[in-house]
Amino acid sequence: MRKRLGRAAPCAIAVGLALSLAACSAGTANQASATTGTINVEAPNSAPTFTNNFNPFSQSDTGPGLNIIYEPLVASNRAKGGVLIPWLAKSWTWSDGGRTAVLTLRPGVKFSDGNPLTADDVVYSLDLLLKNPKLGGATYSFVKAAGSDAVAVTWKSAAYQQLGDLKTVNIVERKLWANRNPLTYVDKTPVGTGPFTLKAFSPQAVTMAARTDYWGGKPAMANLKYVAATSANVQTQLQSNSIDFCTCDIDAKNYVAADPKNHHFIMAWDGSVVSVMLNNAKAPFNDVNVRRAFADAVDNEAIAKLASSKLPIVEPPASPTGLSTKTYQGWIDPKYLAPRKQDVAAAKASLQAGGYTIQGSRLTKDGRALPVTFVAPSDTPFIMTIAQLVVQQIKQTLGIDVKLSGGANTGDEIAKGKYDLAANWLSSGEGVYTALNQFNGSLAVPIGTEASNNSVRFRNTAFDNILAQMAGTEDQNKLKQLGMQAQAIFADQVPTIPLFSSGAAGVANTTHWTGWPPAAEPDYLADTGSGTELITTLMHLTPAKG
């Protein structure tokens, strides 16, 4: 990976996702076709071997397919700017000034053991995060049943833009989990509400069987097989047609060229933006003058072209707001739609304004040299290549030597703020508030403490105040206006250097299965890393004729 509904009629999934009439027709064909065959996919973030543990709360390695065994109450359509859509909950209403959401459960939902989904199951699942902060915590503060078919979720303040937090909470069957420790239990026989159940496990392959009683309809395939394909062998397996679909880091250009009729490129523009992270809590990048200088010194258009060299398309240079232009074009202030252009003169002027000079290829202030290190994972060639070009550009434009540091524990270094520069996928396709809120100062923790968000440790009171107002409104026009105010601060303060809009680069083979979303203007994303999106994709596939 380049790096993340109703049941009243056969077209229910299409209706729930607000898809086009054509997509709904594909769904209808799916329901009518006989369940047949097996589809082979590469497991998301595939390891050399799989772990036989399907605990949806596990903090360690788990088997693939958890995200299609278990489901959330709500989901989002990242192909449509992250609009929130119903899933196990068919609808919701707000009360108490936006502090409480009452979610009505979809009728007819069953767990794979045949038991119906109840409000008690949902309350139990949501409560687990409140009672066990080590599971990741919860933004809501209280949850209770609101009758037999609804639950009420309460936040401490208006939370219209935080309902989407429920997308990450897997709903489990209470009677099965009541006596289990969610932190340590090893689950080899998972029971969920999703369209597939575990059929067979081996360290190299995991096979899922399609359910005939899934609330969203019957999948067209009898089995879904996850293959433990690594970066070293996935290209070979794809070219031999032994994998039908993956979102993985491969040479997609050559894959498509080898068989244009059956090999297709699918870019899941998921709102992510590949960015240079700047440690805002550590000198020299705690100074906005340095952040501006490095941003102006980088040629993100050249970097985007290099990063897209193995793709049939060129990923577009990013907006200086940090928002993906492919996902949020209608939400970005028009004056920030164009990318920041390399401006060496402006970069040098910013350093001068901050009192910095370059001495012996080192950034210096008040006679003190400030060495700069770029942390990049040595086992992620894609990111390492970008880091190398950024380092080269900074040397050419500003004359500053940046030390490139790689290793296996770079993720830990970044989370704990032990870096100057780093590169990663930032932003989000979960809505403009969520995309901006990842830079909320309230999420910034001291250097040395692991950050789950805002790992650049950006703090700006005006920015945070705007985010608080965004969270408390459901007025879309006001949300857009506030979002543009936040964008202006982001572009001016430069907490990161946005490079280019990205996503999950996928390839699909139509030799065995057809009905994949179109590459241009898809109604939903095809992404193995997102359960609800993968389910939607699978429910629209049909066996290839002949």
| Domain of residue 449, CATH code | 3.10.105.10
**Residue 27: its pLDDT value, please?**
35
Same domain, 381 and 303: yes
Query: What confidence score (pLDDT) does residue 25 get?
Result: 32
In a domain, 409, yes or no: yes
Query: In this structure, what are the phi and psi dihedrals at residue 313, rounded to the nearest 5 degrees?
Result: -130, 165
315 and 443 assigned to the same domain: yes
Provide Rg for the chain, Cα atoms. Answer: 24
Q: What is the pLDDT of residue 34?
A: 40
Q: What is the DSSP string of 3-30?
A: -----SSTTHHHHHTT--HHHHHHHHHH
Q: Are residues 513 and 419 in the same domain?
A: no
Residue 92 lies in a domain: yes
Q: How far is residue 539's CA from residue 131's CA, in Å, rounded to a whole number?
A: 35
Minimum mean pLDDT among 20-34, 96-110, 323-337: which range?
A: 20-34
539 and 405 housed in the same domain? no
Q: How far apart are CA 462 and CA 437, in angstroms?
A: 13
Whether residue 234 lies inside any domain: the answer is no
Q: Residues 485, 519: one domain?
A: no
Band (pLDDT 50/70/90 cuts) for residue 518 is confident
Domain match, 472 and 396 both = yes
- Amino acid occupying residue 105: L
**What is the rounded average pLDDT of the residues 115-144?**
94
Please give the tally of structural domains in the chain. Answer: 2
Is residue 175 in some structural domain?
Answer: yes
- Average pLDDT rounded to a whole number, residues 122-126: 98
Map residue 185 onto helix, strand or coil: coil
Mark whether 370 and 388 lie in a shared domain. Answer: yes
44-84 pLDDT tens trace: 766 678 999 999 998 888 999 999 999 999 999 999 999 99
Look at residue 252 and tell me if it is in a domain: no
Q: Residue 320, exposed/middle/buried by CB under 10 A (0-12, 13-18, 19+)?
A: buried
Domain shared by 286 and 183, yes or no: no
More confident residue, 9 or 487: 487
The candidate with the shortest Cα–Cα distance to 310, out of 240, 272, 256, 264, is 256
Identify the H or E element spanning 220: none
Q: Are residues 473 and 525 in the same domain?
A: no
Residue 251 lies in a domain: no
Do 535 and 433 sit in the same domain of this protein?
A: no
* pLDDT given at position 229: 77
How sure is the predictor about 1, in pLDDT bands with cuts at 50, 70 and 90? very low
pLDDT of residue 47: 67
Do 203 and 228 meet the contact criterion of CB atoms below 8 Å apart? yes
State pLDDT tens for residues 138-154. 999 999 999 999 999 99
Higher pLDDT pick, 45 / 276:
276
> What was the pLDDT predicted at 136?
80
pLDDT value for 3: 47
pLDDT at 292 over 60: yes
Residues 70 and 133 in one domain: yes
The pLDDT mean for the chain works out to: 90
Identify the sign of the CA torsion 278, 280, 283, 285.
positive
Residue 327 is assigned to a structural domain of this protein: yes
Higher-confidence residue: 4 or 102? Answer: 102
Q: Residue 463: its pLDDT value, please?
A: 98
- Among candidates 74, 72, 160, 172, which has minimal Cα distance to 117? 172
Range of the domain at 326: 272-501
pLDDT digits (tens, 9 = 90+) for 404-438: 988 767 888 999 999 999 999 998 889 999 999 99
In terms of Cα–Cα distance, which of 11, 40, 22, 5 is closest to 221?
A: 40
- Closest C-alpha among 453, 278, 231, 499 to residue 375: 278
Averaged pLDDT for residues 28-40: 58
Q: Which regions of 428-470 does DSSP assign to beta strands (E)? A: none
Residue 401: burial class (beta carbons within 10 Å; 0-12, 13-18, 19+)? middle
**CB distance 185 to 60 below 8 Å:** no
CATH number of the domain encompassing residue 20: 3.90.76.10
Verify that 536 and 460 share a domain, yes or no.
Answer: no
221 part of a folded domain = no
